[in-house]
Amino acid sequence: MIVLTRLNGQEFALNPDLIERADATPDTVITLVDNTKYIVLESLTDVTRLIRQYRAAVIAEAQRAVLEPQNPTLTAMDDPASQIVVPLHRPER
């Protein structure tokens, strides 16, 4: 969950997986997939930063959960799966 602030100063937690879009109009308006709208004090840049931090934390926690049961001293960089290189583009044929 990410913590945001309503225009009246009241904080609330929002599941970022339910966000369809966020607009700056100039207030930041967050629209959920069910068309519920929230107007928040945070800027569009701050909202996107919070979402990125939330998703990074979820991925980091999932990585720890995978690595720790096998070997508590193993780090993400030691995991062979983290050494896979994925090309950014397909070569022309």
- The pLDDT of residue 65 is 80
- The mean pLDDT value for 69-88 works out to 54
Q: How many domains does the chain have?
A: 1
Q: Is the residue at 43 inside a domain? A: yes
Cα separation, 90 vs 93, in Å, equals: 9
Whole domain around residue 33: which residue ranges?
2-80
pLDDT at 80 > cutoff 60: no
Residue 86 belongs to some domain of the structure: no
Residue 40 belongs to some domain of the structure: yes
Q: Amino acid identity, residue 88?
A: L
Return the amino acid letter for 87.
P
How do residues 19-74 score in pLDDT, each as one tens digit?
999 999 999 999 999 999 999 999 999 999 999 999 999 998 888 887 766 655 65
Give CA–CA dist 20/34, Å, rounded.
Answer: 9
Identify whether 7 is part of a domain: yes
Give a yes or no: residue 90 inside a domain.
no
The most distant pair of C-alpha atoms in the chain lies apart, rounded to whole Å, by 58
Q: Which residue has the tokens 């193993």?
A: 74
Tell me which residue of 6, 4, 13 sits closest to 49, measured CA to CA: 4
Is the entire prediction scored with pTM above 0.75? no
Q: Is residue 70 part of a domain?
A: yes
- Judge whether 88 lies within some domain: no
